[in-house]
């Protein structure tokens, strides 16, 4: 569950790619996330790393778009609850 986006990202990389993957758990309404993106990521060393050494995969944990019916699954963390939204899937991952 939730890993398919990660695997899709791997498939777009060349097979001989030396790039690492960085999962960025973020949110549209995450103020601290925006501060990090504005104040830390532009630092020369960080920007160079993000630009050249990793594939950045951002997962928005507050994404309110509904999952397709065949993607809705039971929560592993909250018994009896269904994961119905994309953000819920990323949060549980």
CATH number, domain containing residue 69: 3.40.30.10
1-5, 8-12, 20-24: range with lowest mean pLDDT:
1-5
Residue 55's pLDDT is what? 83
Three-class secondary structure of residue 56 per DSSP: strand
- List Cα–Cα distances, 10 to 3, 6, 35, in angstroms: 11, 6, 28
Q: Which domain holds residue 53?
A: 4-92
Give the angle 58-86-37 at the CA atoms, nearest 5°: 25
Q: How far apart (Å, rounded) are the C-alpha atoms in residues 27 and 25?
A: 7
For residue 62 the two structure tokens come to 């507050």
Q: How confident is the model over 33-84, as pLDDT tens digits?
A: 999 999 999 999 999 999 999 888 899 999 999 999 998 999 989 999 999 9
pLDDT of residue 1: 47
**Total domains present in the chain:** 1
């Amino acid at each position: 569950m939730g890993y398919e986006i990660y695997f899709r990202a791997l498939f777009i990389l060349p097979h001989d790619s030396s790039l690492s993957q960085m999962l960025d758990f973020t949110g549209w309404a995450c103020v601290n996330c925006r501060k990090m993106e504005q104040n830390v990521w532009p630092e020369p060393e960080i920007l160079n790393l993000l630009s050249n050494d990793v594939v950045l995969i951002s997962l928005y944990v507050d994404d309110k778009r509904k999952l397709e019916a065949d993607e809705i699954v039971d929560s592993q963390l909250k018994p009896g609850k269904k994961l119905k939204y994309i953000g819920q899937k990323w949060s549980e991952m």
